[in-house]
Amino acid sequence: MAGIRRRARIAALQALYELDCTKHKVEEALARLRAGGTLAQEALSFTEELVEGVLQNKSELDALIKKFAPAFPPEQMSIVDRNILRLAIFEILFNDKTPFKVAINEAVELAKAFGSDSSPRLING
């Protein structure tokens, strides 16, 4: 069974994927997660922190991806890979509760679970 924070990251990835593919509002995506009833309150709180943090810092996160992975601009990446990278970079830069190594490992695990065969290698750099 995945830990609370991993489940929160999965839910955050799902919400970010939805928001990237649709014109839904963030409140709608988060309300769907709350209504699903599958996440504990602690996981929901962390999910909301991740989603809102990524969205508030999306321009900066994408600029960093472009700077450090110029061969893979965010707008040309798969939606899954793009949002996994955004989540990981957000956690590394803006969440002092998540150790660097944990953020990287969790991003690679998300890539293995939800990305393509090449996603883990891309995410791991």
Cβ atoms of 55 and 24 closer than 8 Å = no
Write the pLDDT tens digit of every residue in 77-88.
999 999 999 999
54 closest CA partner among 7, 18, 3, 101: 18
Counting the structural domains of the chain, the total is 1
Write the pLDDT tens digit of every residue in 30-84.
999 888 888 889 999 999 999 999 999 999 999 999 999 888 899 999 999 999 9
- On whether residue 125 sits in a domain, the answer given is no
**Residue 99 Cα distances to 46, 68, 88, angstroms:** 15, 20, 11
- On whether residue 49 sits in a domain, the answer given is yes
Query: What is the domain extent for residue 84?
Result: 4-119
CA distance 115 to 118: 8
CA distance 62 to 40: 30
Band of residue 2 on the pLDDT scale cut at 50, 70, 90? low
CATH number, domain at 89? 1.10.940.10
pTM over 0.85: yes
| The pLDDT of residue 4 is above 80 | yes
Band of residue 22 on the pLDDT scale cut at 50, 70, 90? very high
Helical spans, DSSP H, in 37-99: 41-56, 58-68, 79-94
- On whether residue 84 sits in a domain, the answer given is yes
- On whether residue 124 sits in a domain, the answer given is no
- On whether residue 100 sits in a domain, the answer given is yes
| Average pLDDT score over the chain | 93
Backbone angles phi, psi at 19, to 5 degrees: -65, -30
CA distance 39 to 67: 35
